[in-house]
Amino acid sequence: MPLTFSLAATAPASLETPLLAVVLPSEPTLTDELTALDGLLHGALMRTLARRDFRGGRDESLLLVGGEQGVQRVLLVGRGTAPLSRIGARRAAAVAARQAGKLGTGALHLWLPGGDAASVEGLVIGAAAGSWGYPDLQTPPPERDRRARVEQVTIIAPDSEAARAAFAAGVAVAEGQAIAKRLGQMPGNYCTPETFVEVGRDIATRHGMGITVLGRKEMADLGMGAFLCVAQGTPQEPRLVALEYRGAGADQRPVVLIGKGLCFDTGGISIKPAPEMEWMKFDMSGAGGVMGAMEAIGRLKPAINVVGIIGSTTNMPSGEAVKPGDVVRASNGKTIEIINTDAEGRLVLADLLVFAKRYNPSIALDAATLTGAIVIGLGQHAVGVFSTDRTAADEVLAAGEAAGEPGWPMPMWDEYREQIKSDVADVKNTGGRAAGSITAALFLQEFVDGFPFVHLDVAGTAYSQSDLGWIPKGPTGTPVGTFVEFVRARART
């Protein structure tokens, strides 16, 4: 069953719910509203706080049992010492939703005493993150062993226009992240380039967007030799999908979002080691992020024009696959010496960046699980942000911070460009191990012409190979939030 949300101004003590999650700060004290709720618990909340059994630390939770009717359970969730914020609310709500899933209550009411409109948005996004799952390919357990999935989340907040707008925004982002995460979690034999066509057409139909779909022949006609060399080792049809959202006049230059969509990456002839290669199904996370962002934008309807472009294929070894030492020509005429066939995402993005120019962008942002080097440098907690335009980079960094997808600015000095010079072509597709994420970004810059450009390397943040506590291992939804926040901020100016 799909997850559904509602917004209610009901007093918490008068609720009928199997589970009420109350988000509290560090070292909480009883307020009048909490005292009213405590009456249903026969003083258990007061005793719990007095004994400091619950101290409100970040991600801390404690379950209190209520009556058979009304509020049947109260889950206390800590948000720590940080000031009240959308990001803190999101994390606490995710913890609550995960606990609700373990309890099998099916429904969840969320309440953040003293919360503002921004916290309402955070609660929605967090609850969606904490309750998200992909059970599609698993055999359900016997009925007696099943626990109900969270299917209904109600946010308790005072009724106001600001709260309603924040609630709608939260639902939009949550639905966009759900699309990105579903695409990411799907195995490579289920999520194929054609899947992106199907999802793109569905988004376009529901939100009245224009859509362009190109296959191998159309891309060959455009001279996309960089993209197509990656696809020449697979019989699957490669796909370029472009979605056009028109929220402003035709004379307004659009924001262009670009995503790498490698549905599976073996490395090609430069094949990857076998251990953990199964995680390479997530090499389409940039494209999934673009699709998710376009879903959210279609729901939010900001007064701005946005184009989302993804390029999708698989990188496979075969008798037809591109080889190290080969030279290919991108659609802007530049030749590329292939040093390592596992540096394939930048080849796809090169032709997408050239393709983006036809839309006369005000700015282009790309997201890609591009390099292992960025994971070594920044780990799982920060997106690598690359741009030769400091103003544009700062704008993206601010969007990522607001979305809870923080980034870190990386250098793009000309000194690094020496590493991608080729003896036989205009440029090499890799500059070696040293500064690998930087030389990859500089490679992409070779295919940008006439518009500001920011590259997001999300290899460490788009998915997690371990449980992060507040969200499970697997897809995180990054960079949907950053893309959406960037567009919303641009629409407000």
Selection from 477, 475, 479 nearest residue 281 by Cα: 475
Task: Identify whether 488 is a catalytic site residue.
Answer: no
| Lookup: tokens for 407 | 């980034």
Q: For the chain, percent helix, then strand, then coil, each to nearest 5?
A: 40, 20, 40
Provide the 3-class DSSP secondary structure of residue 380: coil
Residue 81 near residue 25 (C-beta atoms within 8 A): yes
Take residue 288 and report the two structure tokens written for it: 């999934």
- Among candidates 242, 183, 254, 202, which has minimal Cα distance to 218? 242
459/382 Cα distance (integer angstroms) = 10
> Rounded distance, CA 493 to CA 138, Å?
47
Q: What are phi and psi of 356, to 5 degrees?
A: -60, -25
Pairing of strands 20-24, 73-78: parallel
Catalytic residue selected from 55, 272, 329, 357: 272
The residue annotated as part of the active site, out of 260, 346, 428, 488, is 346
Q: Residue 325 has what DSSP assignment?
A: T
Please answer whether residues 226 and 328 qualify as being in contact, where contact means their C-beta atoms are separated by less than 8 angstroms. Answer: yes
Among 484, 64, 173, smallest CA distance to 308 is for 484
272 belongs to the catalytic site: yes
Q: List the catalytic residues.
A: 272, 346
